[in-house]
């Protein structure tokens, strides 16, 4: 949902930067790699130290590389399967680092086991959400349904994490992570049922 509504705004916002980077000889793949590295550093360095607000700011500075590299690729009129694969793979690394960083802090110095467990649930279920779609598409099905796509997951967790670093009661972060884990679980079920319906609609080998 957020992807569709925000795409036009962010495309207009980042187009000048994308154009400038291309003139400087920077490739979309380089932006993808640098953006992922920035998110991983922010999540696995700042968060485990308890710097939730500054970690969120650092991550936000790099998280939009996922939009920027796509704009650059379209400007070059390049539809690369390699670029698509790289982008999707590194997205999973970035997402995993984000929730892992939160879990590390709340398992240790943050001393809040429920939040840590909820973060780990979000990590695992988020990966399953992505895997379900990828596996379905590899088998010739579609599974682009669901209420918890990547943009929604990232925006919700980053906003609340940053505010927690500024003094928002941790229970709000816990509630956000629990709701996010629940939404991710529902999305997995939606995708499984969608693929199941498509599989049942296929003609049997005997037909």
Catalytic residue positions, numbered: 91
Half-sphere exposure of 56 (CA within 13 A, CB side): 17
Say whether 206 counts as a known binding-site residue: no
13-21: Cβ within 8 A, 24+ apart: 14/64, 14/67, 14/68, 14/71, 15/71, 17/68, 18/68, 18/71, 18/72, 18/75, 19/75, 21/68, 21/72
Say whether 153 counts as a known binding-site residue: no
Say whether 66 counts as a known binding-site residue: yes
Under 8 Å between Cβ of 42 and 55: yes
Per-residue burial over 1-30, b if 16 or more Cβ lie within 10 Å, else e, is eeeeeeeeebeeebeeebeebbeeebbbbe
Say whether 77 counts as a known binding-site residue: no
Say whether 207 counts as a known binding-site residue: no
Say whether 87 counts as a known binding-site residue: yes
Say whether 95 counts as a known binding-site residue: no
Tokens encoding 161? 């994490």
Under 8 Å between Cβ of 150 and 206: no
Name the phi and psi angles at 25, rounded to 5: 85, 15
* Binding-site residue set: 29-32, 66, 69-70, 74, 80, 87, 91
Binding residues for Mg(2+): 66, 69, 87, 91
Q: Which residues belong to the annotated binding site for a CDP-1,2-diacyl-sn-glycerol?
A: 29-32, 70, 74, 80
């Amino acid at each position: 949902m957020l992807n569709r509504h925000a795409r036009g705004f962010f495309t207009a916002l980042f187009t000048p930067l994308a154009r400038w980077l291309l003139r400087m000889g920077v490739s979309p793949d380089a932006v993808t790699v640098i953006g992922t590295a920035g998110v991983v550093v922010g999540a696995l360095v700042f968060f485990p130290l308890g710097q939730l607000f500054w970690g969120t700011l650092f991550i936000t500075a790099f998280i939009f590389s996922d939009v920027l590299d796509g704009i650059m690729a379209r400007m070059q009129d390049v539809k690369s399967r390699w670029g698509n694969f790289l982008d999707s793979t590194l997205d999973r690394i970035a997402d995993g680092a984000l929730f892992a960083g939160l879990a590390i802090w709340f398992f240790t110095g943050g001393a809040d086991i429920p939040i840590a467990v909820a973060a780990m649930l979000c990590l695992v279920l988020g990966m399953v959400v992505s895997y379900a779609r990828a596996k379905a598409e590899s088998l010739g099905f579609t599974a682009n349904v669901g209420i918890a796509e990547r943009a929604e997951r990232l925006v919700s967790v980053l906003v609340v994490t940053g505010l927690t670093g500024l003094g928002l009661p941790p229970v709000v972060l816990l509630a956000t992570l629990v709701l996010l884990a629940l939404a991710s679980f529902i999305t997995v079920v939606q995708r499984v049922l969608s693929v199941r319906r498509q599989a049942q609609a296929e003609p049997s080998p005997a037909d």
